[in-house]
Amino acid sequence: MLTRSFMTPESSKDLLAYTPMLHARMFIETVKFRDHHFQPTRSSLTTPANKKPDGFSSDLYLDGHPKIDRPLFVQFCANSPDELLEAARYVEPYCDAVDLNLGCPQGIARRGNYGAFLQEDWNLIYKLINKLHLNLDVPVTAKMRILESKEKTLQYAQMILSAGASVITVHGRQRDQKGHKTGLADWSALRYLRANLPPDTVIFANGNILRHGDIHRCLQATGADGVMSAEGNLYDPTIFAKPPDAESDNREYWRGRDGKGGYRMDAVFRRYIDILYEHVLEKPSPVRKPLFLPSDPLTQDTSVISSEVPEEEDERPAKKRKRDHKDLKPTSPNLLAIQPHLFHLLRPLVTKHHNVRDALGRSRAGDMAAYENILQMVEAAVKDGLLDYDADPDKYEESDLPDEIEQQANLDKEESTVATVKACKRPWWVCQPYVRPLLKEALAKGSLTMSKKDKRKLEEENILGKAKLEQGGKSEREKLDMGDGMHEEEMPKEAMVAG
């Protein structure tokens, strides 16, 4: 909804959302799991529905709501066709398609035999897709990874399509391209599919979409019908929106002297939290002043923003408050997700403003007073940043690239993110993608250390080249400029593993 809110009503119809991956067996086994992960109605989904909800029933809630959350694909992982169909039956009245995850490369997917680990069993994949194709009222689609060769990937895609998939989303990385081996997605493999599959095949391309301009580049390079963005959209929820006209009077969008710009973090934060007030908490959001612009007349702002998370106002005795705390603990996934979402959104800002980082780290799910306070801290920081930029813009343009990244410019072009970092870099108050260093860069920079076994393996694969290795490192440890373990906090939960 946040991403859609930055698009025109017309263009937002082209934005298709996917639910996170849901585990089909867990989805059919427990009401609690369904309640927690998919909320199309206010009451629980108790039986697999077999009819469409009529009109705007008052029981309709968030997921797949015709007014606010369509088009929507619901994604499952599964390895039993019957379980997958039963799970899909619950959701089909509230979505536009059911998607099968064939991309998840994580250990948990290996252990549970789903996601990309079904690649070894094409027969099972066929049965899973075909079961939905023959029995569901909505289309079935699939998200796959590329395989070790273009020819094999083509055969794989042909099998998936022959089973009845209406759309294939192709992540241009192989299954083992994860963690330090993530690297770049191979768009040429997608172009090969486009050229060799029937022209009416609907293909969505996934991988390497960091910012708005990449969408067009990817469509051109791959010939795909659409692009999917996951991480890029988390760091910059405005990624799919066309930037506003340069002449428009838009307080939410910042532009530098060189014309480069992006949406301000305080603006996106406000929209995010206001969506939560309106749709989740269902109460009015606080009245907000217009966002600050340096051209505004200067007023004396006497308000004090605390970097402490405010205590909730509650005059009941401490004992009673303690007893009730469990009941008050919000389990709404929408509230639980606030902290990790904000860490993504505010990444460059919290790297500089540790008071914001610390307050966010201490925040508890559903404590809206704390998030309001953090919003004020962010607004104050952005105000300082904007004034500082106006006073000395050179400071921001000169410090374009940190030295250590400059040093990497002599790495091979394909093994360097220097140009990408340069193109994406904005002042810290502007939403921007996180450009993950490639393996060679991370090693050279010393932000990644590897076990002896991994080093040997990589040397064998001749990847290491001239990169320096830290001596004696026992385990793989990626700092990636976070330095504060934030990324670790964002590990997906068991049933919703990243694909």
Binding mask of the shown chain, residues 67 to 106, with x at each position contacting ligand FMN by CB under 6 A: --------x-------------------------x-x---
If residue 11 lies in a helix (H) or strand (E), which one and from where to where? helix 9-12
* CA distance linking residue 27 with residue 124, whole number of Å: 20
- Concatenate the DSSP letters of all residues of 203-258 into one string: EEEES---SHHHHHHHHHHH--SEEE-SHHHHH-TTTTSPPPPTTS--TTEEE-TT
Ranges within 1-40 binding ligand FMN (CB under 6 A): 20-21
Residue 218 appears among annotated catalytic residues: no
Decide: helix, strand or coil at residue 99.
strand
Pairing relation of β-strands 261-263 and 140-145? unpaired
Binding mask of the shown chain, residues 106 to 145, with x at each position contacting ligand FMN by CB under 6 A: -------------------------------------x--
The residue nearest ligand FMN at its CB is 499
Least separation in angstroms between residue 377's CB and ligand FMN is: 25
Contact 142, 165 (CB under 8 A): yes
Please state at what angle helix 368-391 crosses helix 354-362, rounded to 10 degrees: 170
Tokens of 401: 């690239």
Closer Cβ to ligand FMN, 112 or 232, answer by number: 232
Quick one: which of 39, 106, 206, 363 contacts ligand FMN (CB under 6 A)? 206
Least separation in angstroms between residue 207's CB and ligand FMN is: 5
Contact 481, 445 (CB under 8 A): no
Binding mask of the shown chain, residues 140 to 179, with x at each position contacting ligand FMN by CB under 6 A: ---x---------------------------x--------
Which of 77, 95, 104, 424 is catalytic? The answer is 104
Quick one: which of 29, 86, 96, 231 contacts ligand FMN (CB under 6 A)? 231
- Piece of 230-238, 279-287, 357-365, 452-460 that binds ligand FMN (CB under 6 A): 230-238
Quick one: which of 79, 229, 363, 449 contacts ligand FMN (CB under 6 A)? 229
Least separation in angstroms between residue 404's CB and ligand FMN is: 24
Least separation in angstroms between residue 160's CB and ligand FMN is: 14
Contact 272, 2 (CB under 8 A): yes
DSSP-assigned letter for residue 430: B
Tokens of 357: 């980082």
Least separation in angstroms between residue 103's CB and ligand FMN is: 5
State phi, psi for 48 to the nearest 5 degrees: -55, 120
Torsion, Cα 294 298 304 308, to 10 degrees, reads: 0
Residues forming contacts to ligand FMN in the complex (CB under 6 A) are 20-21, 75, 101, 103, 143, 171, 206-207, 209, 229-232, 492, 498-499
- Catalytic machinery residues: 104
